[in-house]
Amino acid sequence: MRGFLASSIGITCAAALALPLTLPSSGARAATPNAASVPAAESASGAVPGSTQSLRLTPLDSGRALRAGPSREQGLLRREVRPFSLVGVIWDDPDAELHGSVQVRTRGSGTGTWSSWQDLETHNHEHAADPDAAERTSGRVRGSTAPLWVGDSDGVEIRVRAEAERPGSGQPGSDRPDSEQPQHRAAAAPPAESPLPKGLRLELVAPGAEPPPQGSPPDGPRGTPLTAETAAASAVNADLVPLGAAVIPALGKKETESDLIAAHGGAEEAAGKARPYIGPRPRIITRRGWGANEKLRERDFAYTKSVKAAFVHHSASGNNYRCSQAGSVLRSIYRYHVRSSGWRDFGYNFAVDKCGNIYEGRAGGVAKPVLGAHTLGFNTNSMGIAVLGSFGSANPPKAAVKAIARLTAWKLGLYGANPRGTTYLKSGGGNLYRKGRNVRLRVISGHRDGFATACPGIRLYKKLGTARSISARYQGR
């Protein structure tokens, strides 16, 4: 088992790099993920697909600000911009919270039609690396809202408003509905003299071109060799599929069990032990399959020791996408996580779309204990699964809930975890549990179980009991 899960990265990468490669020139290397050092607009051509336009917000109440202190409203008036499909807002200090509302409206490309105002989820710092992790202390991380998928657009208008103070309290009031209020201690309010975080910028992300169709040869439809980065990201799945595969195919339960026993060297059968509790391996679309630009992320991979729990999230990016667009949504969120927010890679270990398709998230190998940045304080010995969408008021599709069950039955089964059970994780620090505390959590938890947040949305959270039961049945429990 351990040999299977911790196979030598050096060996697999060496095998990958033995193939003919198209090595990037120094000029094609991705810029540092610090948004402050990224140009306001990047080229969408050449070796780096996609683009990010970064626009500084300005006061919308400048007259009031002169009379009453710092601005409580910033934004941009309607303007034409280069095409984009996803929006988000970032600011300088990753520990500062944006207590207020963020609303955008966009113009559809080629239509001239403006959308109605749409809300961005402002509480996003809880989706992050643990406080003392190298990723968090890199100096590149910024505060950020959740990203919002708006589809093909070429115009934008935005307004960011600080919350009104509660009467007599000097603290901002909550803008969440009662059903979305976490039943935990609220985070500290920002200082009264700084109603909005410093350095607010609007990020407009274009996802870039679609990858080659699935089923194309691993080296591309026209014989284009794999880059070193793409080969390395693929090689960590070499125990499961050939190098460059776009999809990890599903396996039946018996095949999955046999593979696990074989990874043990047949030790279970030799010792007369029961067969393992593990669900059939689900079909997983790899990073190559959804078109991840491997030049964006940090080159190395980060691991934890085990996978004792799965945290379920929603991406809070809205439900206005087609399943055929899921790859574009993922490429946009990935670029936003790395280039705009300053993370080392895509934050979640896996993603699930509304049709129940499962996607490889953070690089490092789908069967391996990859360290993510999804549940601040509890990233160690866990994995994060993000369902693409927003589920505060919308019900999650049955296909997505079933996909969570299929994925957890397999991945948790690799590490001997019972989807119906509980486990203990040591807190890395957050707003619910002090650093170092051993916390008892469900093996399949919602994000809000480890951090005071509305994520994964009350409607999805209420479906986790169903996911646990189905997952356990897949494992044969």
Q: Examine residue 107 and state whether it is found in any structural domain, yes or no.
A: yes
Residues 176 and 243 in one domain: no
Residues 169 and 272 in one domain: no
Percent of the chain surpassing pLDDT 70? 76
Residues 142 and 77 in one domain: yes
CB-based contact 203:336 (threshold 8 Å): yes
pLDDT band for position 219 (cuts 50, 70, 90): very low
pLDDT tens per residue across span 10-25:
434 443 333 333 323 2
pLDDT recorded at residue 164: 76
CA distance 151 to 355: 18
Q: Examine residue 11 and state whether it is found in any structural domain, yes or no.
A: no
Q: Which of 172, 206, 240 is the last residue of a domain?
A: 206
Q: Examine residue 256 and state whether it is found in any structural domain, yes or no.
A: yes
Those residues with Cβ within 8 angstroms of residue 395's Cβ, 6 or more apart along the chain or in another chain: 459
Q: What integer is the mean pLDDT of 118-123?
A: 91
Q: Examine residue 21 and state whether it is found in any structural domain, yes or no.
A: no
Q: Examine residue 16 and state whether it is found in any structural domain, yes or no.
A: no
Residues 258 and 198 in one domain: no
Q: Which of 206, 240, 259 is the last residue of a domain?
A: 206
Q: Which of 157, 173, 206 is the last residue of a domain?
A: 206
Q: What residues does 285 pair with on adjacent strands?
A: 247, 359
Q: Examine residue 428 and state whether it is found in any structural domain, yes or no.
A: yes
Q: Examine residue 8 and state whether it is found in any structural domain, yes or no.
A: no
Question: The domain containing residue 116 runs over which residues?
Answer: 35-206
Residues 288 and 146 in one domain: no
Q: What is the pTM of this model?
A: 0.83
Those residues with Cβ within 8 angstroms of residue 33's Cβ, 6 or more apart along the chain or in another chain: 140, 296, 338, 339, 341, 342, 343, 344
Residues 264 and 364 in one domain: yes
Q: What residues does 119 pair with on adjacent strands?
A: 103
Residues 170 and 278 in one domain: no
CATH of the domain at 454: 3.40.80.10
pLDDT tens per residue across span 326-364:
999 999 999 999 999 999 999 999 999 999 999 999 999
Residues 194 and 237 in one domain: no
* Segment among 140-144, 221-225, 365-369 with least mean pLDDT: 221-225
Residues 304 and 361 in one domain: yes
Q: What integer is the mean pLDDT of 280-294?
A: 97
Q: Residue 332: which H helix or E strand, with range?
A: helix 326-335
Residues 162 and 240 in one domain: no
Q: How many domains does the chain have?
A: 2
Q: Examine residue 15 and state whether it is found in any structural domain, yes or no.
A: no
